[in-house]
Amino acid sequence: MADSNSRILKRDYGFDVAATRREVLRLVELRPGQRALDIGTGEGSMAFALARRKLRVIGVDTDRESLRVARLRAKRAGIQLRKRVRFVYGDALALPFSDGELDVVFSFDTLHHLSQCADAVGEMLRVCSDTGVVAIADLNRKGLRAIEEVMARYGDEHYHNSCRVNVVGQILKQQGVPYKRYALPFVTLLVARKPIQRVTKLPG
């Protein structure tokens, strides 16, 4: 989300994007040293927020210009922060990571742009470790309306699809993945933890 849009959202709608991001991170209960993935990282705001909490972060996006800006921001950051974050090209529907490679998988203000919701959620679960957490925060109706109105001022259209948090919740239920739902003023957060696969010992 562009900084100019974020300022207008805060001034005209009371939608403080940075404060919402901080609240989301508080609710997920992160630990220093965890390996985190930020999907749809854009210019890296969530990735940097995670890195400030001493996580090792990879931000992925398909927008190469946004990645260029994110990398410039990383170069200007302090050396400790810069060492904890990197940005790579990556598609949410085919993440370039191994099964169970990450401890924390984030999606903030991204999934509503996607049409293949089940595939995206499946990829997030695939790359998350068995003891990890998948956190999906996306705009609710109030947040979506605010974004659309701000962008319309400049003749822009806010492209979105059918992948909303209620759809994500249904997908998680179908896959037997427990999650908690948090309703924030402009955003809904789902925090999912993969069920531990228990192996039953055979007799004899």
Residue 127 within a domain = yes
Residue 198 within a domain = no
Residue 201 within a domain = no
d(CA 156, CA 147): 10
Q: What is the CATH number of the domain that holds 73?
A: 3.40.50.150
Environment class of residue 123 by beta-carbon count within 10 Å: exposed (0-12), middle (13-18) or buried (19+)?
Answer: buried
Residue 203 within a domain = no
Give yes or no for a contact between 154 and 135, defined as CB atoms under 8 angstroms apart: no
Angstrom distances, CA of residue 110 to CA of 4, 78, 117: 18, 27, 11
pTM for the whole structure? 0.89
Q: Per the structure, how many domains does the chain have?
A: 1
Residue 154 within a domain = yes
| Phi, psi at 94, each rounded to 5° | -155, 70
pLDDT at site 1: 55
> Over its length of 204 residues, how does the chain's per-residue pLDDT go in tens digits?
555 688 899 999 999 999 999 999 999 989 999 999 999 999 999 999 999 999 999 999 999 999 999 999 999 998 888 899 999 999 999 999 999 999 999 999 998 888 899 999 999 999 999 999 999 999 999 998 998 899 888 878 776 777 888 999 999 999 899 999 999 999 999 999 976 553 334 444
Residue 53 within a domain = yes
Provide the domain limits for residue 154: 3-193
